[in-house]
């Protein structure tokens, strides 16, 4: 089941996320693409990994920019 906010509208969390990330004037569809994968092990541990195809990743930026 998708998590829902406390307000009364019918949008899921993912729909609201997509709307927010594509609302800017220069936004493109790729801005709303997933950037992380979340998995849970059988022991109950949660692991968060940056996706290999994520356009934005943490770390040092290019020195020339």
Q: What is the pLDDT at residue 59?
A: 77
Q: Which of 41, 39, 36, 38 is nearest to 58 (CA)?
A: 36
CA quadruple 53, 56, 57, 59: dihedral positive or negative? positive
Q: Where are the alpha helices (DSSP H) in the chain?
A: 13-21
Q: What is the pLDDT at residue 7?
A: 56
Q: What is the pLDDT at residue 26?
A: 92
Cα 20 → chain centroid = 11
Among all chains, which residue has been given the structure tokens 């692991």? Answer: 47
| Residues of the chain below pLDDT 50 | 1
- For the question of whether the overall pTM of this predicted structure is more than 0.75, the answer is no
């Amino acid at each position: 089941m998708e998590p829902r906010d406390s307000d009364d509208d019918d949008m899921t969390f993912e729909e609201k996320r997509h709307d927010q990330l594509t609302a800017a004037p220069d936004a493109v569809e790729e801005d709303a693409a997933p950037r992380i994968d979340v998995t849970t092990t059988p022991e109950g541990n949660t692991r968060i990994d940056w996706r290999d195809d994520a356009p934005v990743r943490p770390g040092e930026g290019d020195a020339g920019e």
